[in-house]
């Protein structure tokens, strides 16, 4: 695949410390369309911290992050349009059903065929039977599927996922691996942290061991 | 085994190395499993053991000893350490009593028909409000609760649960009686009742609340809620009718308080007697059947109490509300999905409107709050109406700001939408703003004096005062919903007798109230309403997130970076900067 002039994600000298304890120091990364980067490493190595900085949930102490050439500002609509995330801070409306969450996101992103897109994703994440349920009543695995669906139902250029395999059953992990592989092959850039060897093996084009 | 120790481990073969160290692939050492020690005695399988009888009282005393023994501070130590808090409570209490006495004097001096009807009916309404609230709280929490730990360790044991739980039920009943009596008496005093009347209403509120709590406990033992729910609605309806009658009498639609006035002297007595009968009858029945309460039902209330305590510890009222909303949604579980409409921000607004249609009970408080400016005016306190009505409107608008709350409390969901924070907040404000506007239209006559018996403002001024009050309530609610909780990651502040507190904790208590005060106080002081409008405009600008300090700092940093880059490029002679034009 021919590479674009601007990387989808460019991280330069990213550093983050909690107090005097440095978690990430001078981290550099360039991700192009069609790349899938897997961050691996032990618990506490700094994978989630890097991802939280990449999506703007945490502020890095120093360094720059650019998404499609735009300097990262969490509330910048251009960044929000290009970036889909599934990290640990996703919240749900307690009084909107599963299908209504997806419908709202698809419409907010101006998807012309919102209903069709929602139906497809609902089938894919196997939440059709739960489409009318309120999020509080879903099992933890179903909530994870809904979180993934919120990333798949909307247009995106970069997908950032923090341990997306969490709480998924074996079939779910396999489905996710194939889905992410298809996304990557279609030209989407992916950055994910994972402890699941199968997911890393199928999806990643490059693996970075954090804290090694 | 760690990598380092693995590297140090000797080769299992013990032979000489044949490959250079830099290309050698590490050979995993052969680890011999440690032999499992033979058991000294076979494990005891407790099948045929006849248990000794357990004394529940002894268990209860044991728990009490553990708790007391492990407490690091006693009550008296806490009072000594918190002398500032004690002092503040005493001062505020004294001010409150003084205010009550003054208000009581001022209101009792008013002899107009509207004042008299208010004096007759407001204790009715407040008593019904207290009773409905008692039923609601009792139903939500239990009223008999057990913590998750007690549920797991104690309630599973072969004991009589009733012997452990009855003390709690009695404590809850006493608490309900005392709190309701204080509240009922306070309202009666504020509405200008005689001191004998205050005592009567206080006794009625106390016994009524105690009786209803006992009834709720009895219903808990039967695992039923419909009786308490129905009763709650009925009592609430009587209260609402009383409030509406206040307005009707004040506006001249009714000559007097009618049936309410005729039965004035009996209602408190009826409630007191009925409450006492319920308290004894339902209370005894509940104590007799405490063993029948399901463990899940006990623990559920206990978890809710724990969650509430956590939120209360952080003085985070929004979190408390979140817990209740989540619980409500969990109880409902399933809804009939509705189709969305529009794209972009319009889709967000449409869904917000759909949410309110789906849960119309969120509008009840708003509808009830319409009566407040009329009731305040009828009491002769029209000058205070912008502040009092603004505060009540704040509480009524908060339930309508559910979408804004979810999109503000964590960044994850907001990040999914391709809009700025200001756009999202403005969109989430549309439906509540329309509701507030309808409220303003409905209460404008109250500010003009219609329905209050005293005309003190022209229609134009009344509509402006009502509009400012509406703005104050709306913006106060937005502030309440969007305020950040205390940040425990930041350095604590020393607060004298209160100990160390995270920054923002005290501010959390007055969030929302501050905006209502700022916007409505100029009207109270008789200043130009333009001051209120300007303050409201600035508040709106700040609250919608237009002044996001993080974003502004990031933008400034970016500009600085670009400037430095341009300077560096210019000094390196790569780029020729044209001279400025004159």
3-state SS record for B375-402: HHHHCCCHHHHHHHHHHHHHHHHHHHHH
CATH number at residue A137: 3.40.50.300
Question: Cα–Cα distance between A101 and A136 in angstroms, integer?
Answer: 13
Overall domain count for chain A: 1
In a domain, A4, yes or no: no
CB A9 within 8 A of CB A66: yes
Average pLDDT over residues B236-240: 85
Question: Cα–Cα distance between B228 and B215 in angstroms, integer?
Answer: 8
Question: Cα–Cα distance between B434 and B183 in angstroms, integer?
Answer: 33
The residue of chain B with its CA nearest to that of A58 is B411
* Between B547 and A6, the higher pLDDT residue: A6
Question: Cα–Cα distance between B447 and B439 in angstroms, integer?
Answer: 12
The answer to whether ipTM exceeds 0.95 is no
| Out of A76, A91, A110, closest to residue B412 by CB | A91
Question: Cα–Cα distance between B341 and B439 in angstroms, integer?
Answer: 26
Q: Which domain holds residue A204?
A: 9-209
* Between B516 and A75, the higher pLDDT residue: B516
In a domain, A2, yes or no: no
Question: Cα–Cα distance between B193 and B294 in angstroms, integer?
Answer: 45
Q: Delimit the domains of chain B by residue range.
A: 110-313, 344-488+501-569
* Sheet architecture: strand order including A62-67: A21-31, A9-18, A62-67, A70-71
Band (pLDDT 50/70/90 cuts) for residue B581 is low
Question: Cα–Cα distance between A139 and A162 in angstroms, integer?
Answer: 19
| Average pLDDT over chain B, rounded to an integer | 79
| Out of B329, B336, B341, closest to residue A94 by CB | B329
Question: B411 and A74: CB-CB below 8 Å?
Answer: yes
CB B413 within 8 A of CB B406: yes
Question: Cα–Cα distance between A108 and B391 in angstroms, integer?
Answer: 34
- The pLDDT of residue B5 is 42
- The pLDDT of residue B8 is 42
Per-residue pLDDT tens over the stretch B424-478: 999 999 999 999 999 999 999 888 877 555 556 788 888 999 999 999 999 999 9
Question: B342 and A100: CB-CB below 8 Å?
Answer: no
pLDDT per residue, tens digit, chain A (212 aa), is 444 578 999 999 999 988 788 888 889 999 999 999 999 998 888 899 999 999 988 888 888 899 988 888 888 888 899 999 999 888 899 989 999 999 999 999 998 888 999 999 999 999 999 999 999 899 989 999 999 999 999 999 999 999 999 889 899 999 999 999 999 999 999 999 999 999 999 999 999 998 76
CB B462 within 8 A of CB B448: yes
Of A96-100, B32-36, B80-84, B289-293, where does mean pLDDT reach its minimum? B32-36
pTM of this prediction exceeds 0.90:
no
DSSP B140-188: HH-SS---HHHHHHTTTSSS-HHHHHHHHHHHHHHHHHHHHHHHHHHHH
Question: Cα–Cα distance between B433 and B441 in angstroms, integer?
Answer: 12
In a domain, A3, yes or no: no
**Chain B residues touching A138 at Cβ < 8 A:** none
Of B89-93, B227-231, B542-546, where does mean pLDDT reach its minimum? B89-93
**Chain A residues touching B410 at Cβ < 8 A:** 89-91
Band (pLDDT 50/70/90 cuts) for residue B573 is low
DSSP B91-156: HHHHHHHHHHHHHHHHHHH--SHHHHHHHHHHHHHHHHHHHHHHHHHHHHH-SS---HHHHHHTTT
Question: Cα–Cα distance between B365 and B397 in angstroms, integer?
Answer: 8
**Chain A residues touching B559 at Cβ < 8 A:** none
Measured from the Cβ of residue A103, the count of other Cβ atoms closer than 10 Å reads 28
Question: Cα–Cα distance between B490 and B19 in angstroms, integer?
Answer: 55
* Between A167 and B564, the higher pLDDT residue: A167
Share of chain B above pLDDT 70, in %: 75
Of A67-76, A195-204, B58-67, B382-391, where does mean pLDDT reach its minimum? B58-67
In a domain, A193, yes or no: yes
Question: A75 and B412: CB-CB below 8 Å?
Answer: no
Strand duo B500-501 + A36-40: pairing: unpaired
Question: B415 and A83: CB-CB below 8 Å?
Answer: yes
pLDDT greater than 50 at residue B18: no
- The pLDDT of residue B21 is 40
Question: Cα–Cα distance between B582 and B569 in angstroms, integer?
Answer: 24
Per-residue pLDDT tens over the stretch B268-285: 888 889 999 999 999 999
Residue A41 zone, left/alpha/beta (φ > 0; ψ -120 to 50; rest)? left
Measured from the Cβ of residue B83, the count of other Cβ atoms closer than 10 Å reads 11
Average pLDDT over residues B367-387: 83
The residue of chain A with its CA nearest to that of B545 is A75
Per-residue pLDDT tens over the stretch B324-338: 888 888 888 888 988
Question: B337 and A132: CB-CB below 8 Å?
Answer: yes
In a domain, A69, yes or no: yes
Average pLDDT over residues B335-362: 90
In a domain, A64, yes or no: yes
């Amino acid at each position: 695949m021919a590479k674009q002039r601007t990387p989808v994600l460019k991280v330069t000298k990213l550093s983050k410390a909690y107090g005097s304890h440095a978690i990430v120091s001078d981290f550099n990364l360039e991700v192009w369309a069609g790349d899938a980067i897997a961050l691996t490493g032990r618990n506490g190595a700094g994978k989630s911290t890097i991802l939280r900085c990449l999506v703007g949930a945490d502020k890095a102490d120093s360094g720059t992050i650019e998404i499609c050439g735009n300097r990262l500002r969490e509330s910048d609509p251009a960044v929000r349009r290009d970036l889909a995330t599934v990290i640990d801070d996703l919240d749900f409306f307690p009084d909107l059903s599963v299908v209504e969450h997806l419908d709202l996101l698809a419409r907010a992103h101006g998807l012309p065929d919102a209903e069709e897109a929602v139906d497809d994703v609902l089938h894919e994440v196997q939440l059709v039977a739960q489409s009318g349920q309120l999020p509080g009543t879903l099992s933890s695995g179903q909530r994870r599927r809904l979180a993934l669906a919120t990333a798949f139902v909307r247009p995106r250029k970069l997908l950032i996922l923090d341990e997306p395999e969490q709480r998924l059953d074996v079939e779910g992990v396999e489905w996710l691996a194939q889905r992410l592989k298809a996304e990557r092959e279609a030209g989407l850039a992916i950055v994910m942290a994972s402890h699941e060897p199968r997911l890393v093996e199928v999806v990643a084009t490059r693996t970075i061991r954090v804290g090694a | 085994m760690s990598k380092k120790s693995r590297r140090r481990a000797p080769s299992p073969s013990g032979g000489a190395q044949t490959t250079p160290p830099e290309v050698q692939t590490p050979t995993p050492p052969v680890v011999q499993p440690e032999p499992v020690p033979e058991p000294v005695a076979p494990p005891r399988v407790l099948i045929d053991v006849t248990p000794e009888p357990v004394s529940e009282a002894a268990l209860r005393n044991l728990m009490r000893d553990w708790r007391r023994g492990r407490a690091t501070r006693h009550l008296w130590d806490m009072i000594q350490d918190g002398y500032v808090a004690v002092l503040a409570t005493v001062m505020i209490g004294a001010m409150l009593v003084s205010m009550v006495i003054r208000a009581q004097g001022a209101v009792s001096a008013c002899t107009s028909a509207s004042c008299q009807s208010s004096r007759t009916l407001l204790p009715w309404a407040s008593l019904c409000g207290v009773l409905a609230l008692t039923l609601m709280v009792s139903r939500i929490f239990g009223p008999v609760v057990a913590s998750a730990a007690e549920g797991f360790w104690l309630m599973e044991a072969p004991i009589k649960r009733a012997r452990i739980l009855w003390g709690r039920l009695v404590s809850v009943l006493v608490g309900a009686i005392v709190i309701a009596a204080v509240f009922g008496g306070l309202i009666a005093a504020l509405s200008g009742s005689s001191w004998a009347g205050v005592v009567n209403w206080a006794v009625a509120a106390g016994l009524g609340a105690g009786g209803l709590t006992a009834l709720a406990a009895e219903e808990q033992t039967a695992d039923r809620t419909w009786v308490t729910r129905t009763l709650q609605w009925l009592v609430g309806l009587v209260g609402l009718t009383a409030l509406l009658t206040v307005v009707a009498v004040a506006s001249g639609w009714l000559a007097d308080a009618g049936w309410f006035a005729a039965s004035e002297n009996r209602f408190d007595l009826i409630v007191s007697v009925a409450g006492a009968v319920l308290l004894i009858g339902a209370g005894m029945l509940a104590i007799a059947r405490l063993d029948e309460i399901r463990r899940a039902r006990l623990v559920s209330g206990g978890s809710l109490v724990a969650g509430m305590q956590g939120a209360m510890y952080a003085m985070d009222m929004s979190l408390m509300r979140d817990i209740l909303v989540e619980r409500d949604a969990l109880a409902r579980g399933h809804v009939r999905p509705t189709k969305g409409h529009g794209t972009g921000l319009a889709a967000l607004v449409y869904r917000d409107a759909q949410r309110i249609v789906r849960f119309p009970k969120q509008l009840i408080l708003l509808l009830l709050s319409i009566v407040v400016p009329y009731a305040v005016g009828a009491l002769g306190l029209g000058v205070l109406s912008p502040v009092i009505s603004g505060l009540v409107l704040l509480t009524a608008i908060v339930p309508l700001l559910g979408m804004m709350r979810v999109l503000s409390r964590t960044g994850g969901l907001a990040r999914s939408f391709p809009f700025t924070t200001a756009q999202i907040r403005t969109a989430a404000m549309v439906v509540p703003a329309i509701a507030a506007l309808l409220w303003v239209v409905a209460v404008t006559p109250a500010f003009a004096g219609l329905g209050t018996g005293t005309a003190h403002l022209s229609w134009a001024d009344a509509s402006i005062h009502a509009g400012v009050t509406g703005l104050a309530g709306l913006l106060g609610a937005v502030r309440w919903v969007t305020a950040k909780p205390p940040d425990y990651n930041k350095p604590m502040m020393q607060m004298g007798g209160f100990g160390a507190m995270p920054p923002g904790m005290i501010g959390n208590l007055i969030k929302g109230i501050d905006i209502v005060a700022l916007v409505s106080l100029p009207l109270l002081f008789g200043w130009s309403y333009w001051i209120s409008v300007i303050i409201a405009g600035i508040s709106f600008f700040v609250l919608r997130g237009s002044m996001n300090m993080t974003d502004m700092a990031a933008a400034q940093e970016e500009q600085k970076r670009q400037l430095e880059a341009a300077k560096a490029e210019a000094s390196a002679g790569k780029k020729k900067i044209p001279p400025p034009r004159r």
